[in-house]
Structure formats: structure tokens, C-alpha cells
Chain A
Amino acid sequence: MPLAATTILICAGGACISAGEESVKQALEKEIEKYALGDVVRVVETGCMGACSLGPLMVIYPEGVFYQKLTPQAAKKIVEEHILKGRIVKEYLYKMPTGEAVPEAVEKLPFFARQVKIATRNVGYIDPLNIEEYIARDGYFALAKVLKQMSPEQVIEEVKKSGLRGRGGAGFPTGLKWELTRKSQGDKKYIVCNADEGDPGAFMDRSVLEGDPHTILEAMAIGGFAIGANQGYIYVRAEYPLAIERLNIAISQAKEYGFLGEKIMGSDFSFHIEIRIGAGAFVCGEETALIASIEGKRGQPRVKPPYPAQSGVWGRPTVINNVETLACIPPIITKGADWFRSIGTEKSPGTKVFALAGKITNTGLVEVPMGITLKELLYEIGGGSSTGKKIKAVQTGGPSGGCIPSEYFDTPVDYESLQKLGAIMGSGGMIVMDEDDCMVDVARFFLEFTVDESCGKCTPCREGTKQMLKILDKITAGEGAEEDLQELENLATVIKDTSLCGLGQTAPNPVLSTLRYYHNEYEAHVKEKRCPSLKCKQLIRYVIDSSKCVGCTACARVCPVNAISGEVRKVHQIDNEVCIRCGSCIEVCRFGAISKVSP
């Protein structure tokens, strides 16, 4: 392969694709062809670079110039100016929150400076379709070290010593899991990568799979060697076709280079990986449900014990690790447990990848040392609120987690601290909410999710969550009674205590945490039939301020149900009996004359 002098890394993560990465890439390629730059400029699609809100993104090396919010026109200009003439195209440069452009190397941008990348060390940096770029960044060296210099026991000891805990949510020590599986008797054993990233709001696993698939293969081979498994499965969501495609390519490359297959690197160890595609069931993130799904059955959890370590896939000892957990394994082996322990906190060593989404300026993926405070994460790295309104809460851990109010933003992010607040670390989704978000409605939203996704096996989860949802529907419709709040708590406690699996046990968390921190909002709904955040449709009305309305008719024209009447140049009125509260009128009014009120 002839060397290209300029490499354009274009982010092909999910967010950038949806922002139009494909058309930008096509424009780039067209321009490159036009100026016959094919031999000297290489365009590489990478996995998610993490600064998703700025997408589509690209970085031009060797200079390391970072461009944001690209369009096909921008691509044309960048080729003509930057590539051909060496002039940086200022208008598309990464900008500071102050609006000032930063023509600096990627590593110096504030969004990146606070990050410590372990699990996502290669994502956005290497070409995921090129195994040699992975090798250039020490890829497969951990596997080589393990096979040439270590015994399975030593590998397990190293992982135990590192203190790595499962990044999928529960935080179970990975080394211990491996040790238990190694010690179990079985003619065959399995290692499974859980890539069924179901938490709404979390997309780090997808980013790793798309941007650095080889790290998962390497880690699984190491895990297989440690526990004595020759077969691995990657259970990945059907919603992630790009990840599946890249994993398949990576697997065939790894086979070709001899990192997968028989007698790997001249050792006696053989290891194979198969991909199993999920079919959309949130509960399959639970270990025993996932096992059932791999076996082609309904993904229903079963009683533990026996734990998968004793009886997993086809009744054989099985270890199940999450994508992000596995991505930490190769660096732990090459750099050692002590290095890993030096990052993060005593009880939660290492880093965690968070997906920042919702009403935050820098939405995207960030990897930070454990123990960083929520304030640092949301304000320094995340850039604070994107709406100009105050951040009210951050929701962590998806449907199993809770809402953390802004008063607690000094809390360090680790497994125990978040749990104390009634939330959980979960897989690392962080949805930022501002004053426009009603906490009762958020609780209702999550309950709706759990009702949909409850597998139906245990009555408390199947029926109990439904009853809770009914109550929340009543409350958000203004028909709630005070005793409903007590009833919610009772139901929540019973469901927590009597459900078999994690889904049921944590399903009430969003309700419990909002009841705890935002009791006043519940009370406003119940006692005053009022939604303080002006979100619950049945509790609000739309009104037109007669002093501001100029009678432009824009609102009347956009109203889908003709609820607005009035003559040209005269003050308009909204008929709240007809109004469906869709909000279209507010969006089109240029005079700020329309507002929502709750009695």
C-alpha cells in the first residue's frame, strides 16, 4: 500500500451518519478525484470520535486539525483550501463554547483534554477495517503475552488485581467471574460478549464495536484462554447492522492472521467466535435471558443459582462480559494491573465511558476516570445546558436507574456513590434534563418502557409495573389522588423485593428516585392538578398574549386541528377544547406571543 501523506479521518459513528456523514464523504471523494489526489490523500472512516453533537466530524492528519458540522459544500471547500492550499478553513473549525475557533491538535481541545481513554483508546483513531492499524497500536500483543508468557491462573490473577468491574451495570468484579468459571467443571466452556446494548441513551458499546472491533476479539480470546473456553459468542443487537458488519470483517481478518482458529500463534490454544444477532428484547441484557436467547429460545431469565459460571450456554460453564469491560482487558494485560489501579478510585478503578445526551451542549461519548464528579462531567466536559435553561437533573442507568438532582452534582461518579443516591451507574447513559422536563412524566416514560419489556415471567413485574403505570397515567392526567403516591411506593417495594431478575428488581427505580427528590412535583400534579414544568398535556393550556400578538395568522395556518381563530392583524385566540397541545404554534410565532400555562 503506498503511503498517503494526508489522512482524513471521517467519523462514521451512528450520530455522524445520521447527521449526513455519507454525503460529506462522497463529496470529499469526488473532490479528491477531481484534483487527482487519490494517491496522497487517504480518507478513512473511523468509529465514533465522541463529539457527536458537532457531527459530521473529521480530523485531518498529520496536522491534527479538527473540523465540525460538515456539509458536502464544506468538504469541497476543505479539499480546495486545506488540502490543496494548506489554509485552514476557519468556519468549520471546532469551536470553544465561547465561539472562538481552535485550530489545534485534537488532543488539546477541552472536550478531549479531560478524558482518559482506555476502552475507547482506538475508537476514532484507527481504521476499524484494517487489522494492521490495530496491531500498530499494540493490538494482539496482550494475546501474544498471555499465550507465550502466562498461565491461565496468572491471567485471572492480573485481572483480579486490576479491580476491573463489569461495565454493563452491576459492577461485578470481572476477575472473580473468570475465576469462578475456570474452577467450574465442564467438558466445554463458553465466553459470551454481551453486546445487547438495550439501555435507551447508551451507545458506547456500539461505538467500540464499530470503531475498534478487534479489541473485543482479542479480549475474548484472552478470556477464553483464562477460563478454558474454545468457543465465544458475541450477542449483538439487530439494531446495530454496522457493528455486525465490522465484526464479521474483523473476525475474518483475525482468522487470516491466526489470532482466531486452531493453535493460535503456535500455542495449543484454539478459539473460535460466532456472532449471534439479537431480536429486540431488553430483558436479554440479563445474563440468563441472554443465554436462553443464544440457544434460540424465548429470552426469559431463570432462577440463579446456578449462576452462568456453573451452568450457562447449553448447561456449560459460561462467562458473560460486556463490551466495554472486554475493551479494558488488553491494556490491563499489556500495561499491568497496577497501571489500571492508578486510574480511578480505590473501589472503582479505571475509567468509564459515558454517553452524554439530552439537553447538554457537547452530546457524545466521553471516557473519564472513575471518581470524577457529575459537575465536572456535565459542565466542564459536557459544556453545560444546551437550552439556556438550568439543568434540573441527570438520569443515569436507563430504565433501571434514577434521576439525580443538580444539588448532588458534587457526587463522584462510581458504582457505590450513585447507588447511594438511588440511581445506578448502569451502562453509562446520562440524559440531561432541564426545567422543561417533568419528573413525573419521566418516571411514567420509563415505566412504559418496563411494561413493554417485562418478559412476563414474574407476576410482580408483569402486573405490578402495569399498575404503577396506570397510577402515573392518572397523575399526569390530573386525576391522581394523594393516596396514589403511597400506593406507588408500596407497589415499588413489592416489585423490587419479589422479582426474579434485574429488570424487575430495578424497574421501580425511576419512580422511587423521582418520588424521593421531586415529591413537590408529584404533589403539584396530585393536589393542584398542575404540571410545574408545563409538560403534561392534560394539565396545560395554550394562551395568546394579546399585547404581543400582531395577527400575522402564522399560528392559525400551522395548527393541524384549526383550534386557532382570528382575523388578519387582529389578536388571535386558541380554543383549548379543540387544541391537541402539539406546540406547532409556539414554534412558528415570531413574536413570542404564545405560551403554555398550567393552572
Chain B
Amino acid sequence: MPDLCTTGERLFKELDQYIDSIGAEPDKLISVLQKAQELFGYLSSEVQQHIAEALGIPVSQVYGVVTFYNFFSTKPKGKVQIKVCLGTACYVKGGDRVLERFLEELGTKPEEPTKDGQFSIHAVRCLGACSMAPVVLVGEKDFYGRVKPDMVPRIIDKYKEVKVQ
């Protein structure tokens, strides 16, 4: 697909601009990776290679940092990312059952996008809204509090048509 190519080029260009704006120093690696993930959705080996060259560090060091932090992903995610909190409070209040229900409804495994690429389910540790446990976060902003397994199909339905989260 030709326009995918140009999109890719555009994203690399945007990444380079960002690197220029904060300075191409090795200590900026985490910030650069955060920006790259924001742009590309995940950190492919191609992107990691590119960053290594831009910052003048070995790609092994980039890979080491990428795999160390939970925030970074080397695999594509679903268009809509659903984070199910499994912090202590959510766990005590049945967050594990909410997670199971999501996986069951979508027929997928944690971190793996559904076949159509629409959703991916992520178990996360504490979103800091413990008093509303169990908590589910869809995308970056849509918080659902006091979620019961029964509410899961309704939550999924809301995002079936969503293009980009």
C-alpha cells in the first residue's frame, strides 16, 4: 500500500523532529521511546534501530531499555486498548473476573490484539483509582469504575466501531 509507506516516512520524520527538539543525547532515550510509541503504536525493530542511530548508542542498549519497562511494547496493539486494573484493591474486589470476562468475550489472550485488530486487553497494576475498584480504562481517558463482569459486553459494544482510540 503506497500511502502506508508515506505514512511511515512521515512518522519517522516527525520522530526525528522531536529528537532534534529535545537534543539527541543518550539520556533522552526513554522520552524518545515514549514519543516513538505514541507515533507508531509499538516499537518495531526498525524503529529501535532508527532511534539507536539517531542517539548514537548501540541498538542492544535500546532493546534493553524497551524490554525493561512495562510501558513499551514490541508488538502491535489493538486499535482500542482496554486496560483492566489488577492492583490490590481491584483484585480484592474481583478485577480478575472482569479480566477473564473480557478475554472470554473477545476470544483473545492478554496483550494480543483480536483477530480483527480492533481490541487488545492488558492487565495493568494499579491505575490509582482504587476507591472505584474494580477499574477498567479504555484508551487513555475513558475510566469505568465498579465494573462487574456483566458490564463487560456493554463496554465492548461501545468501542466496536471506534477507529482510533
* Pair A280/B131 contact, Cβ less than 8 Å: no
Residue of B nearest to A433 (CB): B92
| B29-46 Cβ-contact flags toward A at 8 Å (1 or 0) | 111011000000000000
Tell me the minimal C-beta distance from A200 to chain B in angstroms: 3
Chain B residues near A276 (CB-CB < 8 A): 30-31
Chain A residues near B65 (CB-CB < 8 A): 296-298
Chain B residues near A298 (CB-CB < 8 A): 64-65, 68
Chain B residues near A583 (CB-CB < 8 A): 97, 149
Binding site for A on B (CB under 8 A): 25-31, 33-34, 64-65, 68-72, 87-89, 91-93, 97, 100-101, 104, 124-133, 135, 140, 143-146, 148-150
Interface residues of A in 445-486 (CB under 8 A from B): 445-446, 449, 452-453, 455
* Pair A14/B143 contact, Cβ less than 8 Å: yes
Tell me the minimal C-beta distance from A162 to chain B in angstroms: 28
Q: How far is it, in angstroms, between the C-alpha of A288 and the C-alpha of B117 when the chains are bound?
A: 39
* Pair A582/B100 contact, Cβ less than 8 Å: yes
* Pair A200/B89 contact, Cβ less than 8 Å: yes
Q: Which of B71, B93, B145 contacts A15 (CB 8 A)?
A: B145
Tell me the minimal C-beta distance from A234 to chain B in angstroms: 14
Residue of A nearest to B140 (CB): A241
* Pair A199/B132 contact, Cβ less than 8 Å: no
* Pair B130/A359 contact, Cβ less than 8 Å: no
Kindly state whether residue A53 has any CB partner on chain B within 8 Å.
yes
* Pair A358/B128 contact, Cβ less than 8 Å: no
Residue of B nearest to A588 (CB): B150
* Pair A296/B89 contact, Cβ less than 8 Å: no
* Pair B131/A279 contact, Cβ less than 8 Å: no
Chain B residues near A18 (CB-CB < 8 A): 129, 132, 135, 143-145
Q: How far is it, in angstroms, between the C-alpha of A404 and the C-alpha of B65 when the chains are bound?
A: 37
Q: If A200-B87, A358-B89 touch, does A363 touch B130 (CB 8 Å cutoff)?
A: yes
Q: Which of A55, A200, A238, A295 contacts B27 (CB 8 A)?
A: A295
* Pair A52/B71 contact, Cβ less than 8 Å: no
Tell me the minimal C-beta distance from A175 to chain B in angstroms: 29
Residue of B nearest to A359 (CB): B92
* Pair A279/B148 contact, Cβ less than 8 Å: no
Q: If A18-B145, A19-B145, A279-B69 touch, does A201 touch B130 (CB 8 Å cutoff)?
A: yes
Residue of A nearest to B89 (CB): A357
Q: What are 15 A-B interface contacts by the 8 Å CB criterion? A: A15-B129, A15-B131, A18-B143, A18-B145, A197-B128, A198-B125, A200-B88, A201-B87, A276-B30, A277-B30, A277-B31, A280-B71, A281-B69, A298-B68, A582-B101
Q: How far is it, in angstroms, between the C-alpha of A389 and the C-alpha of B127 when the chains are bound?
A: 27
| A72-94 Cβ-contact flags toward B at 8 Å (1 or 0) | 00000000000000000000000
Chain A residues near B26 (CB-CB < 8 A): 296
* Pair B125/A282 contact, Cβ less than 8 Å: yes
* Pair A296/B27 contact, Cβ less than 8 Å: yes
Interface residues of A in 209-241 (CB under 8 A from B): 238-241
Q: Which of A15, A282, A453 has the most CB of B within 10 A?
A: A15
* Pair B29/A296 contact, Cβ less than 8 Å: yes
Chain B residues near A446 (CB-CB < 8 A): 88
Q: How far is it, in angstroms, between the C-alpha of A299 and the C-alpha of B68 when the chains are bound?
A: 8
Chain B residues near A395 (CB-CB < 8 A): 88
Chain A residues near B71 (CB-CB < 8 A): 238, 278-280
Chain A residues near B150 (CB-CB < 8 A): 584, 587
Kindly state whether residue A355 has any CB partner on chain B within 8 Å.
yes
* Pair B130/A203 contact, Cβ less than 8 Å: yes
Having A201-B89, A239-B128, A355-B131, one finds 16 other A-B pairs with CB under 8 Å, namely A14-B128, A15-B129, A15-B130, A17-B129, A55-B131, A197-B128, A201-B87, A202-B130, A238-B34, A293-B30, A298-B68, A358-B88, A363-B89, A431-B92, A442-B92, A453-B125
Q: How far is it, in angstroms, between the C-alpha of A232 and the C-alpha of B126 when the chains are bound?
A: 27
Q: Which of A52, A429, A431 contacts B132 (CB 8 A)?
A: A52
Tell me the minimal C-beta distance from A536 to chain B in angstroms: 12
Kindly state whether residue A560 has any CB partner on chain B within 8 Å.
yes
Top 4 closest A-B pairs, CB basis? A52-B131, A18-B143, A200-B87, A363-B131
